[in-house]
Amino acid sequence: MSGLPPFPPLPAASLASRRETVADALREAITSGRLQAGQKLTESGVAEHLGTSRAPVREALRQLEQEGLVISYPYRGTEVLGVSQEEIENVLVPIRISLEKFAFRKAMPRLTDADYAHLQSLVRTMEEAAEAADAALLADEDIRFHEAVVTLSGQQHCLQIWRSIQPRVRAYFRRDASHYADATVVAEQHRELIDALRAGDEQALDRAVTAHINTHFSIAPDPSE
């Protein structure tokens, strides 16, 4: 299919596994920006490009539509959805602030030494990614950190909401990570969140979480560029 970026060959697998492989390949291309907002995708075109049948592609596109990364139109195929700055500021960020303030507060008294060690390991990987100028890994470790805390909160409804918005959050994390003048600040910001969790002050933790989630406003790319 013309216009699609190159993908690695798909391994032999069951239909369910192949669907996940196709979904992973397309999700990665969308969140990394290799597939641009508005780009058209057809089952036959994607199947031919990936060297697979249409059935796993059809299921993968349905999954990505549920994640808000594509939209399907009758008789017109499927189109990649972008994440606008307006959506980030007015939808994703407010949802994240409400959800993560609650989840971080609930996680605070539950965290063990092993949990803190895991969070610290994610921060160290962020440092390594920043030093290697690997914006994709930096963004992915950022996502893993926040999902880890939400998971450790023990609030299943929060985790369900988080996972429903995570693909679009990941897309803007990927976008923003490449615009940091000094990517090492990302690890430092997450250390501050760990310090706030350890301190045990809910109000201070709320402020830290809110300030952190709003960070992207200062480094978001100029849409006119």
Confidence band, pLDDT 50/70/90 cuts, at residue 224? very low
pLDDT recorded at residue 215: 83
pLDDT recorded at residue 85: 86
Assess whether pLDDT exceeds 50 at residue 55.
Answer: yes
Exposure string of 144-179, with b = 16+ CB inside 10 Å and e = fewer, is bbbbebbbbbebeebbebbeebbbbbbbbbbbbbbe
Helices (H) and strands (E) in the chain, counts: 10, 3
Q: How many CA atoms lie within 13 A of 107 on its CB side?
A: 31
Burial class (CB in 10 A: 0-12, 13-18, 19+), 62: middle
Burial class (CB in 10 A: 0-12, 13-18, 19+), 104: buried
Confidence band, pLDDT 50/70/90 cuts, at residue 171? confident
User: What amino acid occupies position 37?
Assistant: A
Confidence band, pLDDT 50/70/90 cuts, at residue 187? very high
Cβ distance 190 to 145 under 8 Å?
A: yes
Share of the chain above pLDDT 90, in %: 60
Assess whether pLDDT exceeds 90 at residue 112.
Answer: yes
CA 153 to CA 222: how far, in whole Å? 35
Confidence band, pLDDT 50/70/90 cuts, at residue 83? confident
Structure tokens at 82: 């972008």
As a CATH number, domain 85-218 is 1.20.120.530
Q: What is the average pLDDT score of the chain?
A: 87
CA 205 to CA 209: how far, in whole Å? 6
Query: What is the DSSP code (8-state) at residue 218?
Result: G
pTM equals 0.80
Query: Stretch 202-208: mean pLDDT, rounded?
Result: 97
Cβ distance 107 to 197 under 8 Å?
A: yes
Phi, psi (rounded to 5 degrees) for 147? -65, -35
Question: Where does CATH 1.20.120.530 sit in the chain?
Answer: 85-218
Nearest to 214 by CA among 120, 62, 100, 55: 100
Question: Picking from 52-66, 71-85, 151-165, 175-189, which range would have the lowest pLDDT averaged per residue?
Answer: 175-189
Structure tokens at 141: 């470790």
Q: First CA to last CA across the chain, in angstroms?
A: 29
Structure tokens at 180: 């940091």
Structure tokens at 109: 């008294």
Contacts of 63 (CB under 8 A, 6+ apart): 19, 23
pLDDT recorded at residue 126: 95
Question: Picking from 102-106, 130-134, 146-150, which range would have the lowest pLDDT averaged per residue?
Answer: 130-134
As a CATH number, domain 15-80 is 1.10.10.10
